[in-house]
Structure 1
Amino acid sequence: MSMPSGHKQGLREVLSLPQIVALYIGSVIGSGILLVPGLAAELAGPSSIVAWLAMSILVIPMAITMGLLAARHPSSGGVSHFVKLAYGARYGNLVGWFFLLSVPIGGPVVAVTGAQYVGVLLHWGSGQVHALAALIMVVPFVMNIFGLRLAGSVQTVVIALILAILLLAIGTAIPHYDAANFTPFLPRGGFSVMKAAGLMFWCFIGWEAVTHLSAEFVDPRRNAIRGVLWSAGVVALIYFAVAFMTVATHSYGDGQSAASLSVMVHLSLGPVGGWIVAVAALFICFAAHNAYASAAARIAYALAREGAAPRWFGRLHRKYRTPIGGLAFLAAGSAIALAVLYSGVVSLAQLIELPNATFIATYIGGCLAGVRLMRDYPLGRAAAWISLVVTLGLYPFLGWSALYPLVIVAIVQVWQRRRTSAVPAGLAPADPAKPDLPASHS
């Protein structure tokens, strides 16, 4: 097992298997389950369930790749640590920056998505919606100051509530099942199924996030892969069940596809169904932001230890040993992104394209690392190759947002050059994780 220097002096191993599973599920089941089943059904009709089945199978190699890498090389650096081991610090740190700069943009998008479900029911204006979004973001930041034992425990309860609500939605829709809704099965041709599968990929992003918490797993070699397999099964079943019942009840089309879950629940529960979905939306978005805030704060910590980010990113809380420097950076970046959304300069749909690009770039790096690091494990290497082909095939379809990772590369290179020129010759970068430096103080 590979373990970074100073690990035992820094982050603590506190996450048990149920908490690991909850964090995985929370990072993968995001706002996509509120939007994509209806949109995919509108795009491909009943045949969209074939795409759901295919994506549920294809995502298993991706989950296994990340789980195996986390089990073999637990580190707060996550995917960037894997890339560093395989290809060197330069590329590993760049992948770390890809992930780190995804979260301050993606977090506000997720929070606003959840807040909008409540805003619609209460007829709120933009200011009230964004105020609730700010609260959704602030709570995970505060919880993470007190450590992953608290954040992981809360996540476990939240995920249980989310699954209960989703199972309620599926169960109440069963009496409205109508086989006639599956004909014609392929109304728009086979290409529409491929387009729907591409849309669904975004529902399965998230396996990379929890790898950044692997240094705090209890028995990571055993629990990382068990956690990813349990959560992959739960996620695939939930997504497929929601998508299947969306088609079976024809809860899509006529301008209601983006709210298909609400439409489906409304069939049996009436207006109260809207509130059930709104509660689910809040829980889902909170869980996703909690998982990503935890992960991103730790990649900031790891980058600072490598000398690849400002030293204050590596500050740890004196008592709780949590990465408050990284949390402060994420909070500041998220506040800026939320303000931009509130101003109306960009829309949610436009802003989400940027973190999508960096997440895909992160996956590509992780899969490449898996191919090299698991040469001695044929099953793991095969999973990495399959995942690499899937992610590389998607990247050209990102459009202009595919340039965002390149912009990050340029920014990091400029910062590194300025930092190098400011350090006198012969002096090594300080390690912010050492007890006598600011990283260990509040």
Structure 2
Amino acid sequence: MAQNSPIHPRPDPKMTVTPEIPRSSEAGIGLKRHIGLGGLLLATLASMIGSGWLFGPLYAARLAGPSAIIAWLIGGSMFMLLGLVYSELGALFPVSGGVVRFPHYAFGPAASYIVGWIVYLGAVTFPAIEVEAALQYASNYLPALTHVSGGVQVLTAQGYAVAALLMVSFTVINLWGVRAFARANNAIMAFKLFVMVSMLIAFLAIGFGADKLTDFGGFAPHGVGGILSAVATGGVAFSFTGFQQPVALSGEVRSPGRNIARAILLGLLITTVLYCLIELAFLGAVPAGALRNGWGHLAFANDFGPLAGVATMLGLGWVAALLYVDAVISPLDCGLNWSVMTSRISYGMARNGTIPAVLGRVSGRGVPWVSVLVGSGVGLVLFLPFPGWQTFVGFITSAAVLSYGTGPLAHAALRRQLPDRVRGFRTSFGDLVPFVAFYAGNLIVVWTGWQTIEKLLVAIAVGIVIFAVQRLTQRTTGSDLHWKAAAWIIPWLGGLAAISALSTFGGRSVIPFGFSFLAIFVLSLVIYVLAVRLRLPTASMPPADTGTDERAVKPSEHGPAL
């Protein structure tokens, strides 16, 4: 009876404690569980609080005006749904690189490779964009680092050299080991929070003018479309994309059944509150003269470093100084966190067996060193096609959110494959949370616009070709890839591409604005049902990666129907 029972709507009291993970589950291959809740929460905050809060208030305000505050609330709520899903998955399978390993468990190697490639596309670009953000702010006092090209601030030759040096420093710190990284991150994160709170209090106390929220075109001068565009391309969604850091590091976390969920959900709650307050403070502190042409044309001196520029105009020199220092430290710390995360993602793919096993090699310090070196090399190359912060944001947001969308599907499948497995954290309301999270992720992807999605689909196609070449050169058959279980991916990507191309978000405007929500809802429902029905009969996991007491596992052979 238990095998065919529906998903539990509430936590089962018998399943509230996850046994301590045996060291052999990950330590046997070199990773060590060094990170507690405090360090994990700070790592989560550091992965989200990077360049997004430094640039997002300006770009979101240009797109949505004062209603940009609503955009931050929408973004935080959407990512909170995804956070609930990944909290359960991370506690269920506390293995490093989990975000690319959950699809492997639920749908097999073919699905895990495609998903892993999408995840990697988003993650590997993050260190580079954070370096560019730091240099863009630093160009206020080192103007040789950047110049304006086509209306966008981009790196000069000197800027490229400094960027390369910073990427190399990420590599050195990453290779030193996660314990040293966590110690350094704690101090840096404390400074970042101090600067954010100091700026917030100063702007609200000295420069805030409530009239700016209504007198320059109204609260929502660009309507609902402006709010949604701010979520997708104004830096809002981008600022939340590091929430899954605890999942990426879960193979190195103490008591993962408790700490992963706490770090994810607390991190999202803290950042949502901070981002909303900072946007409010920025909106009220912008000098009225900068709004003479409306919010859509908001511009002022030194707006390439918007928060520091406003602080300078308000006569808050000490706040501007703090922001210029933090504008280097904050993005670089975030980039370092993403450098760590990227190496764990490729490590996870290597453990899945979908990329060369050499990327799974771990040093004596417990670091996947080959993955670190490869990620750093790719990051260096990415400076060439994406030489400025603005050229990065849409692509990263689309890739990251697209990859996160597979988590809810894996969540639904694993609930059916492993209904009796011990869960340290369990979401309520059955399929409601994962489905709404999947729908929310698909919405954000479409909101990024067809021009971005078009580029992302080309990059995904390149990854599939690489995978095919790898399989052919290894002379392996496809019988063990479980293509049937991955068959939902092509209609999912194709459906998103079609809706985006026909939508009002950079497409041909064939699908009216309101109907695009219905179209994405229908696509999300069809793919959700299809993925659950095509899932593997039982979860596909190597014994060493189960992460829990095998005696607690009683997988159903077929699982319940949706």
Q: TM-score, normalised by structure 2?
A: 0.69
Mapped to 1, the partners of 2:134 and 2:98 lie a distance apart of: 27
Mapped to 2, the partners of 1:188 and 1:354 lie a distance apart of: 23
List per-residue Cα deviations over 1:119-153 (Å, max 9, x = no partner). Answer: 22222242333333234323332122122111111
Matched, 1:177 2:177: no
In the alignment, residue 255 of structure 1 is paired with which amino acid? A
Q: CA deviation at 1:19?
A: 1.0
Give 5+ residue unaligned stretches, structure 1: 423-430, 434-442
List per-residue Cα deviations over 1:86-131 (Å, max 9, x = no partner). Answer: 1122212332232234333332122111112112222224233333
Q: Which residue number corresponds to residue 249 of structure 1?
A: 285
Matched, 1:144 2:188: no
Contact 1:82 1:369 in 2 (8 A): yes
From 195, 202, 209, the equivalent of 2:238 is 202
Matched, 1:400 2:400: no
List per-residue Cα deviations over 1:282-323 (Å, max 9, x = no partner). Answer: 222122212211122122223223332223212221x31211
Q: Which residue number corresponds to residue 96 of structure 2?
A: 76
Mapped to 2, the partners of 1:308 and 1:53 lie a distance apart of: 37
Contact 1:86 1:372 in 2 (8 A): yes
Q: 1:122 to 1:380 in 2, by over 3 A?
A: farther
Percent sequence identity over aligned pairs: 22
Mapped to 2, the partners of 1:203 and 1:12 lie a distance apart of: 29
Alignment of 1:52-201 (within 5 A): 52-125=72-145, 126-174=156-204, 175-183=206-214, 184-199=218-233, 200-201=236-237
In the alignment, residue 166 of structure 2 is paired with which amino acid? I
Q: CA deviation at 1:168?
A: 1.1
SS at match of 2:144: coil
Matched, 1:383 2:440: no
Q: 1:331 to 1:44 in 2, by over 3 A?
A: closer
Q: CA deviation at 1:28?
A: 1.5
Contact 1:4 1:75 in 2 (8 A): no
Mapped to 1, the partners of 2:129 and 2:53 lie a distance apart of: 15
Matched, 1:320 2:356: no
SS at match of 1:121: coil
Q: Which residue number corresponds to residue 262 of structure 2?
A: 226
Mapped to 2, the partners of 1:231 and 1:330 lie a distance apart of: 25
SS at match of 2:405: helix
Mapped to 1, the partners of 2:50 and 2:277 lie a distance apart of: 16
Mapped to 2, the partners of 1:284 and 1:133 lie a distance apart of: 15
Q: Which stretch shifts more, 152-161 or 243-252?
A: 243-252
Alignment of 1:269-308 (within 5 A): 269-308=315-354
Contact 1:93 1:308 in 2 (8 A): yes
From 398, 403, 420, the equivalent of 1:362 is 403
Q: CA deviation at 1:346?
A: 5.6
Q: Which residue number corresponds to residue 8 of structure 1?
A: 27
Mapped to 1, the partners of 2:25 and 2:226 lie a distance apart of: 51
Alignment of 1:24-35 (within 5 A): 24-35=44-55
From 364, 367, 374, the equivalent of 1:329 is 374
SS at match of 2:305: helix
Alignment of 1:17-28 (within 5 A): 17-28=37-48
Q: Which stretch shifts more, 234-243 or 389-398?
A: 389-398
Bigger share in helix: 1
Q: Which residue number corresponds to residue 262 of structure 1?
A: 308
Q: CA deviation at 1:5?
A: 7.4
Mapped to 2, the partners of 1:405 and 1:207 lie a distance apart of: 23
SS at match of 1:206: helix
Q: CA deviation at 1:192?
A: 2.2
Mapped to 1, the partners of 2:78 and 2:354 lie a distance apart of: 34
Mapped to 2, the partners of 1:407 and 1:5 lie a distance apart of: 36
Mapped to 2, the partners of 1:365 and 1:5 lie a distance apart of: 28
Mapped to 2, the partners of 1:160 and 1:380 lie a distance apart of: 38
Q: Which residue number corresponds to residue 213 of structure 1?
A: 249
Q: Which residue number corresponds to residue 440 of structure 1?
A: none
Q: Which stretch shifts more, 36-45 or 220-229?
A: 36-45
Q: Which stretch shifts more, 54-63 or 327-336?
A: 54-63
Mapped to 2, the partners of 1:358 and 1:57 lie a distance apart of: 19
SS at match of 1:13: coil
Mapped to 1, the partners of 2:284 and 2:323 lie a distance apart of: 19
Matched residues, number: 419
Q: CA deviation at 1:351?
A: 4.5
Q: 1:234 to 1:153 in 2, by over 3 A?
A: same
Mapped to 1, the partners of 2:305 and 2:203 lie a distance apart of: 15
Contact 2:125 2:382 in 1 (8 A): yes
From 454, 460, 464, the equivalent of 1:409 is 464
Mapped to 2, the partners of 1:133 and 1:381 lie a distance apart of: 45
Q: Which stretch shifts more, 364-373 or 127-136?
A: 127-136
Q: 1:128 to 1:293 in 2, by over 3 A?
A: same
Mapped to 1, the partners of 2:330 and 2:47 lie a distance apart of: 9
Q: 1:353 to 1:211 in 2, by over 3 A?
A: same
SS at match of 2:347: helix
Give 5+ residue unaligned stretches, structure 2: 1-17, 146-155, 291-296, 420-426, 478-541, 545-562
Mapped to 2, the partners of 1:138 and 1:417 lie a distance apart of: 34
Contact 1:96 1:303 in 2 (8 A): yes
Mapped to 1, the partners of 2:389 and 2:330 lie a distance apart of: 17
Mapped to 2, the partners of 1:420 and 1:314 lie a distance apart of: 21
Mapped to 2, the partners of 1:127 and 1:273 lie a distance apart of: 30
